[in-house]
Amino acid sequence: MKVAIRYYSKLGHTKDIADAMGEELGIKAISIVDEPNLKEEVDILFLGGAPYANVMDEKLRTYAKGLKKELVKRVILFTTSNWSRRTVRSLRKILTNNEIEVDKDYFYAHMLKINKRIPKVKEFIKKKVG
């Protein structure tokens, strides 16, 4: 099964989770700033982001809009903010409009409790990827 991790992170919290996921899966988590378009076909894409002044960054919105069902079978979201639910909802809407399956649950780590939540990444990855 092919798995990839992509994220947008201004302050580093989302990156911390992405990197922990990458470590668990033995793959490199890549920022969408470094790779603005997904270049490979994947079964599962872990996609992380957070709100800034209530909305996700435009780069993440554009990235999600550009994802094609031919490249991505299923997306699993992760986020780190106090009020991320709106961002998760928006991402889910964009992706399902693109006919991409998005898991109902997502990984959440509060930005001030990242270190505490890192061990939970392992459990989450096991549950999702096996």
Q: Which is nearer to ligand FMN, 1 or 53 (CB)?
A: 53
| Least distance in angstroms from the C-beta of 97 to ligand FMN | 23
Q: Which is nearer to ligand FMN, 112 or 123 (CB)?
A: 112
Chain contacts with ligand FMN (rule: CB under 6 A)? 9-15, 50-54, 80-83, 111
Q: Which residues pair with 78 in a beta bridge?
A: 48, 107
Q: Which is nearer to ligand FMN, 33 or 71 (CB)?
A: 33
Pairing of strands 101-102, 72-79: parallel
| Least distance in angstroms from the C-beta of 88 to ligand FMN | 11
Report which residue type is found at 71. Answer: L
Alpha carbon distances (Å) from 114 to 13, 67, 81, 110:
7, 28, 10, 6
